[in-house]
Structure 1
């Protein structure tokens, strides 16, 4: 629990999206300032807001950093102090259940789906992101399901930037005999993943069918190196890190291995795909959920699927 402050900027959607892209390129960004962008209301899709949360009263340098995202011409900044609370948990309370692919994900406040062929996961609101409600997480669940149904074989997988552990749990459900490794740069996630694994009866450990958790920055950890190479790497993070990590992902994949990327806006997709092409990765399939792209790529050795035809997926966002 701590006192937090929020800075809000209201602007047309292209302006906010451009600011989010600028944030991705700001590699010296203060990690204490957490950003999000969203439409103000469903009936106002062109009116967006950028929200920045801080664990302190915004200093002149903080306000300057937000303003700089708008090329120095930011709309007025609305600054407010928030009640003393865990704002991440609060933001995830009462999250509605979602159905994506072979999965139903809900917080403890909602009942299980109890449907044949559907794996139910309980993911409480927590200090880590990835309850399944965000379009990128739901998109990854749908894409993992498609990969399994189209015959992808996975004996060794890694979920980089795992957050709550949900995507690693889902992948291990689809490929229950695989070695599975989850990692996150945030040490808080290690405890969150352990708790969620116990809640969802996901075994932890280093053997096949179990999930091993490490704290790591990208692929930089001896355990990640030792347990590779991987048939499948999942990374639902941000566009900037995806671009910089593309060659590292490629080096840790088996020939013809699969890479699932998310956390990028559709406007950022071309940059991410270009970085992946340079690393020898080729698009196998994609889907767009809302404003977000979810990409399935493969090593060049077997970059195509279904007779060499790329499988573009429709925009499924309205069905979730």
Structure 2
């Protein structure tokens, strides 16, 4: 371990596909006491496949850690740029560089960019360690857009965000339907704590009942509270294809008649299998959006 502490930034060139896959590569540093914070950005909107990976370490990165980063984004074959940042609030600095995301009527940004929201947009402020927690990832973007579209013709009262992450989908639903009862769960206690902080930062109310968001740790649908709070007329699950398929039975069981299900976290090549798992439980797919990372909207007749 390096003796020189501080904050170290490592930058590598990557493709958009590699950047979008970063949330699924977090285990690469699971053995470290202080894993790096990973952020991806698109420096030039006119070059949509030219992205950058930024990794922030709490100490000087070992050569082996740099090799791990390079293995995560191999296509460009670039050498990592390593720099020590001056002593300052590096989290604020790193998040200040994240560009806002607009999806439907939602405007998702860190506090540094919250003022850029246009009239008529629904603002969400997310201070997350990963850029994709702020809506930058295609799956989160697709879910937000789907939730906004569903709001044109539906009024939901009982909503579940399964695998909430930073809480962005739960908060989007709470702002779209202010009187709804929203439940948000995640397998990761850290994500639950982050979600609670984000709920407070967005002037939304925690707790059980109308106009509130209840947030707790749960493994899949195994927690009895998730069943008791059902049935839900809207469920959003932005996780991965395998757990989406595995949870098809219990998730479908708590979806109300006429309810909608928004699924994401899957690749285009996995969409048929995921859809089939829910079709076997009586749901039908009513909309699909996105390309490589599609968002599926299903409905119980």
TM-score by length of 2: 0.70
The reply on whether 1:142 has 2:141 as its aligned counterpart is no
Structure 2 unaligned blocks of 5 or more: none
Task: Supply the distance in 1 between the matched residues of 2:76 and 2:103 (Cα, whole angstroms).
Answer: 37
Q: Specify the SS of the correspondent of 2:28.
A: coil
Match of residue 278 from structure 1: 277
Task: Supply the distance in 1 between the matched residues of 2:166 and 2:23 (Cα, whole angstroms).
Answer: 24
Q: Specify the SS of the correspondent of 2:184.
A: strand
What's the offset of the Cα at 1:78?
Answer: 0.9
Match of residue 252 from structure 1: 251
Verify the 8 A CA contact 1:88 1:126 in the aligned structure 2: no
What count of residue pairs does the alignment treat as equivalent?
284
> C-alpha deviations, 1:283-317, integer Å up to 9, x for none?
322333xx764513325x54xxxxxxxxxxxxxxx
Match of residue 166 from structure 1: 168
Q: Specify the SS of the correspondent of 1:45.
A: coil
1:123 pairs with one of 120, 125, 128: 125
Match of residue 210 from structure 1: 212
Match of residue 178 from structure 1: 180
Change (3 A) 1:46 1:206: closer
Structure 1 unaligned blocks of 5 or more: 303-320
Match of residue 318 from structure 1: none
Aligned-CA RMSD value = 4.0
Change (3 A) 1:18 1:159: same
Verify the 8 A CA contact 1:137 1:236 in the aligned structure 2: yes
Verify the 8 A CA contact 1:160 1:182 in the aligned structure 2: yes
What's the offset of the Cα at 1:211?
Answer: 0.8
Match of residue 298 from structure 2: 298
What's the offset of the Cα at 1:145?
Answer: 1.7
Match of residue 46 from structure 2: 43
What's the offset of the Cα at 1:9?
Answer: 3.7
The reply on whether 1:10 has 2:13 as its aligned counterpart is yes
Match of residue 154 from structure 1: 156
TM-score by length of 1: 0.67
Task: Supply the distance in 2 between the matched residues of 1:20 and 1:95 (Cα, whole angstroms).
Answer: 15
Task: Supply the distance in 2 between the matched residues of 1:74 and 1:128 (Cα, whole angstroms).
Answer: 22
What's the offset of the Cα at 1:20?
Answer: 6.3
Change (3 A) 1:246 1:197: same
What's the offset of the Cα at 1:174?
Answer: 2.9
Task: Supply the distance in 1 between the matched residues of 2:37 and 2:97 (Cα, whole angstroms).
Answer: 21
Q: Specify the SS of the correspondent of 2:29.
A: coil
